[in-house]
Amino acid sequence: MEDLLTLRDLSVVYPTRFGPFTAIEGINLTLQKGEIHGLVGESGAGKSTIGAAIMGLIPAPGYIAQGQVHLDGMDLRALDAKAYHKLRGARISMIFQDPQTSLNPLLTIEDQLVETIRQHTDQTRTQARDKAIALLQETGIHDAEARMAEYPHQFSGGMRQRVVIALALCTEPDLIIADEPTTALDVAIQKQILQLIRRLAKDRGIGFILITHDIGVIAEITDSVTVLRGGKVMEHGQTAQVLGRPAHSYTRALMAAVPLLDKRLVRFTNIMDSEPKLSAPELSWKVAGASAEYASDWLLAGDRAQAGDGPVLQVRDLDVTFYGNRPFAFGARDGFKALQSVSLQVDRGKVLGVIGESGSGKSTLAKAIVGLVRPSAGEITFEGAPLPLGRDRARTHPARRKIQMVFQDPYSSLNNRRRIEQIIGEPLRFFGLAKTRADRRRLVASVLDLVEMPQRAMLKYPHQFSGGQRQRIAVARALVARPEFLICDEPTSALDVSIQAQILNLLKDLQATFGLSILFISHNLAVVRQMADDVAVLRRGQLQESGPAEAFFEAPQAEYSRQLLAETPSLAMLSATGHG
Amino acid sequence: MIGFVLRRLAQSVFVMLAVSLLAFAMFHYVGDPVEVMVGQETSIEDRERLREQLGLNDPVLTQYARFLGDLVTGNFGFSYRTRQPIGEMILSRMPATLELGFVSLLISLIIGIPAGIFTALRSGGLAAQTILVTTLVGISIPTFVIGLFLIYLFGVQLGWLPTYGRGDVVEIGWWKTSFASWSGLRALILPAITLGVYQLTLTMRLVRSEMQDVMNTDFIKFAIARGIDYRSVHYRHALRNSMVPVITIIGLQFGGIIAFSIVTESVFQWPGMGLLFLDSIRFVDIPVLSVYLVLIALIFVVINLIVDILYFVIDPRVRLKPEAG
């Protein structure tokens, strides 16, 4: 049997101001009918470029520098633009990452499906409609006939992704390129979508190229896998073999960085250098008297309570309701209950992991604690004293300093127009922790040292740093206020796994050194397992269960927690074969 | 739909009340109407009698209520300057301004939207760059300079088109239209182009940037990846999505054209509301000015209402609530 897809020695080049940039280099790949082949790698690995090259949709000014793309023995690079466009949909189709944005919001599902079907066949509207209904049913949409007339925004995220899959399927392609098809979805939905893809490959014999950064997804459904880094193939082969007995050091490092759901590591080991090497002048630039030890001593010198004397933060019966706009100047407003009588506590020097899917209210909880959102009922006690809620908490209230926060997206949490020195120095000035400019400089440089950044970083602006470096800066900014309580809201979910491992290591170290109490929010159970002493599970604004972490991961009490744990893709097959 | 429109209507009433209050205040506090109306030798008793007749001694609230009542019933009072009823004055001028505004809007849409699409899709090309640079010049030159230039070229040098007035108008009821006669239509061309140039550039650039944004969205990439015909991708998928924000701006601009066509009208001696407004300012004709203010506010409110309804029709996200879950 002929291979469905073969890539031979494929390279894609983007001309830039600084000379040509090779996005992918010498890629070889073969795919059979009904096979699911995973492309895995971190950002910048060139995964999506391979997808674009197969589709013939490499954005200008990029171009295929060399190599061959064959589909069923047909040379795709020999096709002219028109013939290639005819092929799209008919033979090759795509599934995009975010179902919120991959459907046209102004057209009904029916419009979009029928148009696509009729684009490639001579079917009448009625025939196309019948086919569309059948497809929606096949992809798992109930009451498909009635829902055809609806618009994309009327579907939930998971349902929308099913519509997207139906759209990719409706022309009966032989090959589907799925670019991070489940990254934007909650784990429960992710599981269902992956099963659907698996079934389509088996029943219809469609070949899938599955692009993902998530090794869990690779382990779960792919037959074969290619590991990419910096546009080059590190390793490829059968999934069980590559992930089970990784031959390349990069694959091993990548896998060591993945947090495991079934095992708590003290520290992530064997982490590759993913940041570019720094030049000597970059490293030798120092502020006089600044060092990590200085920062460490200074942070420990603050008046801080001892570990172990009871809960540092208690939340009792917290309700948060968000109101939409009033229909008009008067009239009742519709309230959305983001949190409903949530009670939990964080012990001093411990990490409480808060787990929840999107919409569970976990970020709202963080905002209520720092005083960004005003709860409608309930109370919060910090260090034994009730905490004023919302705007009642004065700017001068001690908790404003003692509770600090690290946000999810390091790209938007740092002010792009200020230097790192100003960003990290602001809490020092605001809380009066360092009076003179020289003191502040020394502290900023020292804290940067503490979070393993070169001191010279203080002279730069945020855009000059990568996501992981930015997150270190965000941690430094939180730390410099001498907090006792740190809230980390999904601090690593915007980062690659290797960077995630580094940031988690950093947080663990800081927590151990300074005895910080941390509220650690994440949707990723495996990450929480690595970090948390205790856990709390939220669902639709309600607390499902809370308790010590190890007991939770061994034997969760609530039905919902069990379900969550079961649905999280695990690398069980790998740890069985001696992972780490 | 009906609920939505009713809510918007109710909000509009509040806006109009606020504007009318402003107009009333202007009437009441800028100068003394009696002083303006009478001559120097009028006795104090006569002045008092006039004051009483005009109801100026009544409590302010009563006067405001009366003012509102007059506005609603179309009793706009008399101009200080011409002693004519203001209602008639405005009615005789309004068609000229509305027709001018309408034609210039039409010009700007008919040229601006296709030009915007073209420059968005061929953004690197020479033609697109030329259009962009040319219109940049167009937007940088003040309206009156463009008007004078057009008059010089087409009126004076070439002698093709009339340079002032409305030409022959045909009366349909009280509405005097330029559309019905050849000379009227010819008279419209230059002022409409002058007024429309700025609007045209704005529409084009807005359509262009919106269209470029939309072309970069996932749903367009997905449509291309499904092999949908490029014509459909551009016009059915992309254009409709770019029009949503464009409509708001065009609506507001149209209000602006009607309200502030003053410069163009005076360059071309166009007998519209802009000229009336200018004359009224010169003579501190407060009654005319306050009615003008209320009228312009009404035009803006109506246009906004139309824009909201268009939103409702175009964008299903405004119309239909998502289901839970």
pLDDT tens readout for residues B102-145: 899 999 999 999 999 999 988 778 888 888 888 888 778 888 88
First to last CA, chain B: 25
Quote the strand ranges of B151-304, DSSP E: 170-172, 175-177
Interface probe for B, chosen from A106, A150, A164, A358 (most Cβ of B below 10 Å), is A106
pLDDT at A441: 93
For B176, the token pair is: 């005097």
For A522, the token pair is: 């994440």
Q: How far is B252 from chain A (nearest CA, A)?
A: 23
pLDDT at A109: 93
Q: Do B227 and A90 touch (CB under 8 A)?
A: yes
Could you give phi then psi for residue A314, rounded to 5 degrees? -130, 135
Task: Tell me if A348 sits within 8 A of A309, measured CB to CB.
Answer: yes
Average model confidence (pLDDT) across chain A? 88
Ranges of each domain in chain B? 31-75, 89-319
Closest residue of chain B to A56, computed from CA coordinates: B225
Task: Tell me if A177 sits within 8 A of A211, measured CB to CB.
Answer: yes
Determine the average pLDDT of the residues in A398-419: 91
Task: Tell me if A181 sits within 8 A of A97, measured CB to CB.
Answer: yes
Q: What's the CA angle centered on B208, arms B207 and B213, to 5 degrees?
A: 100
pLDDT tens for each residue of A537-555? 999 999 999 999 999 998 8
| Contact residues on chain A for B4, CB-CB shorter than 8 A | none
B18 touching A (Cβ < 8 Å) = no
Interface probe for A, chosen from B4, B13, B218 (most Cβ of A below 10 Å), is B218
**Which residues partner with A538 through β-bridges?**
A543
B316 vs A107, B222, B310, B321, B322, CA distance in Å? 8, 20, 11, 9, 10
Q: Do B228 and A96 touch (CB under 8 A)?
A: no
pLDDT at A270: 56
Q: What's the CA angle centered on A538, arms A152 and A343, to 5 degrees?
A: 140
Q: What is the pTM of this model?
A: 0.81
Q: Determine the distance from the C-alpha atom of residue A144 to the mean position of all C-alpha atoms in its chain, rounded to a whole number.
A: 31
CA distance A369 to A352: 14
Q: Residue A302 — very low, low, confident or very high, per pLDDT cuts 50/70/90? A: low
Q: Is the pLDDT of residue A369 over 90?
A: yes
pLDDT at A549: 92
Q: Do B222 and A94 touch (CB under 8 A)?
A: yes
pLDDT at A579: 37
CA distance A354 to A315: 13
| Cα Rg, chain B, nearest whole Å | 24
For B319, the token pair is: 């119309």
Determine the average pLDDT of the residues in A127-150: 91
Quote the strand ranges of A448-514, DSSP E: 485-489
CA distance B281 to A319: 59
CA distance B193 to A182: 53
DSSP percent split of chain B into helix, strand, coil, nearest 5: 75, 0, 20
Interface probe for B, chosen from A71, A95, A103, A104 (most Cβ of B below 10 Å), is A104
Closest residue of chain B to A89, computed from CA coordinates: B226
| Contact residues on chain B for A85, CB-CB shorter than 8 A | 224, 227, 230
pLDDT at B325: 40
Nearest to B218 among A57, A101, A115 (CB): A101
DSSP, res A464: G
For B74, the token pair is: 């179309």
pLDDT at A332: 58
Determine the average pLDDT of the residues in A292-311: 75
* A513 CB neighbour count, 10 Å cutoff: 12
Which residue matches tokens 């009823």? B85
| Contact pairs from chain A to chain B, CB under 8 Å | 94
Residue % of chain A over a pLDDT of 90: 53
Q: What's the CA angle centered on B252, arms B248 and B258, to 5 degrees?
A: 145
Q: Do B217 and A101 touch (CB under 8 A)?
A: yes
Q: Do B10 and A328 touch (CB under 8 A)?
A: yes
**For chain B, which residues score pLDDT lower than 70?**
1, 31, 260, 321-325
DSSP H or E stretch at residue A517: strand A517-522
Q: Which residue from B63, B25, B10 is spatially nearest to B293, judged by alpha carbons?
A: B25
User: What's the residue count for chain A?
Assistant: 580
pLDDT at A504: 92
Q: Which residue from B105, B75, B307, B77 is spatially nearest to B203, judged by alpha carbons?
A: B105
Closest residue of chain B to A167, computed from CA coordinates: B226
pLDDT at A113: 95
pLDDT at A76: 92
pLDDT at B260: 67
Q: Determine the distance from the C-alpha atom of residue A311 to the mean position of all C-alpha atoms in its chain, rounded to a whole number.
A: 31
CA distance B27 to B285: 10
pLDDT at A572: 58
What residues of chain A have any CB closer than 8 angstroms to a CB in chain B? 55, 57, 85-90, 93-94, 96-98, 101-108, 115-116, 119-120, 150-151, 153-156, 164, 167-168, 171, 327-329
CA distance A345 to B217: 43
| Cα Rg, chain A, nearest whole Å | 26
Q: How far is B222 from chain A (nearest CA, A)?
A: 6
DSSP code string of B222-259: HHHHTT--HHHIIIIIIIHHHHHHHHHHHHHHHHHHHH
Classify domain B89-319 at the CATH superfamily level: MetI-like (1.10.3720.10)
| Contact residues on chain B for A142, CB-CB shorter than 8 A | none
Quote the strand ranges of B132-213, DSSP E: 170-172, 175-177
Strand pairing category for A335-347 and A311-323: antiparallel
CA distance A48 to A31: 17
Determine the average pLDDT of the residues in A65-90: 92
A544 vs A188, A343, A537, CA distance in Å? 16, 11, 5
Q: What's the CA angle centered on A507, arms A503 and A512, to 5 degrees?
A: 150
Between A266 and A152, name the one with better pLDDT. Answer: A152
B232 touching A (Cβ < 8 Å) = yes
Closest residue of chain A to B10, computed from CA coordinates: A328
B63 vs B13, B27, B53, B55, B67, CA distance in Å? 19, 11, 12, 7, 6
| Contact residues on chain A for B224, CB-CB shorter than 8 A | 57, 85, 88
Q: How far is B54 from chain A (nearest CA, A)?
A: 37
CA distance B209 to B203: 10
B242 touching A (Cβ < 8 Å) = no
Around A487, how many Cα atoms within 13 Å sit in the side-chain half-sphere? Answer: 23
pLDDT at A544: 93
pLDDT at A461: 93
CA distance A367 to A434: 27
pLDDT at A578: 36
B15 touching A (Cβ < 8 Å) = no
Closest residue of chain B to A359, computed from CA coordinates: B325
**Which residues partner with A441 through β-bridges?**
none
Task: Tell me if B291 sits within 8 A of B23, measured CB to CB.
Answer: yes
Determine which of A120-124, A375-379, B167-171, B263-267 has the lowest per-residue pLDDT on average.
B167-171
